[in-house]
């Protein structure tokens, strides 16, 4: 549950920041926080730092790092450019891939409750995706509705520490 809460806060923060900051800013901040907390937890628990001693393990570690970085970068971009609901719906595919890869590589069949949970989550995501139609706003690109301020101006003002308020 702590992981779910953390992911929710991270996704909400990324969506709130939007396009005002580059995706790499969020990734570097998250990486820095992860290093500090992981090092603290390792020191507290007395866990030793382990370096892979087999070339195949090192190759797997490098592949996990490379593909994990690409996936996180694309997820961060997706959450910045798309609505939160549509952006997080793609995250549900992790469950499907985890179930398939568990069967292929670990030769383990998931328990019936896991299969049922996966089916419930995937069917809910499909229902949400197919039942909601994307509303198209008839607003000029780059302008917010009714304020007369350009979205780009608002983003630049926030980056420069200025606020944009409508005094009328």
| Two structure tokens written together for 49 | 């730092």
Whether residue 154 contacts residue 128, with contact meaning beta carbons closer than 8 Å, is answered with no
Whether the predicted model's global pTM rises above the 0.85 cut: no
The structure tokens listed for 155 are 């983003």
* Residuewise pLDDT in 10s, the chain (168 residues): 787 787 778 777 877 887 888 888 888 988 898 899 999 999 999 999 888 889 999 999 999 999 989 988 888 888 887 766 666 677 777 788 888 888 888 889 888 988 888 888 888 878 877 776 554 444 445 544 445 555 555 555 555 655 545 444
């Amino acid at each position: 549950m702590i992981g779910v809460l953390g992911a929710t806060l991270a996704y909400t923060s990324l969506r709130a920041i939007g396009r005002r900051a580059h995706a790499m800013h969020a990734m570097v901040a998250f990486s820095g926080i992860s290093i500090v907390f992981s090092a603290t937890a390792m020191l507290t628990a007395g866990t030793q730092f382990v370096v892979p001693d087999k070339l195949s393990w090192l190759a797997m570690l490098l592949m996990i790092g490379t593909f994990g970085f690409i996936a996180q970068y694309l997820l961060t971009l997706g959450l910045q450019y798309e609505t939160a609901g549509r952006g997080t719906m793609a995250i549900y595919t992790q469950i499907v891939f985890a179930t398939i890869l568990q069967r292929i590589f670990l030769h383990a069949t998931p328990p019936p409750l896991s299969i049922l949970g996966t089916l419930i989550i995937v069917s809910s995501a499909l229902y949400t995706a197919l039942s909601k139609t994307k509303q198209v706003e008839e607003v000029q690109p780059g302008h917010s509705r009714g304020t007369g301020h350009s979205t780009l101006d608002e983003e630049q003002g926030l980056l420069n520490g200025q606020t944009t308020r409508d005094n009328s």
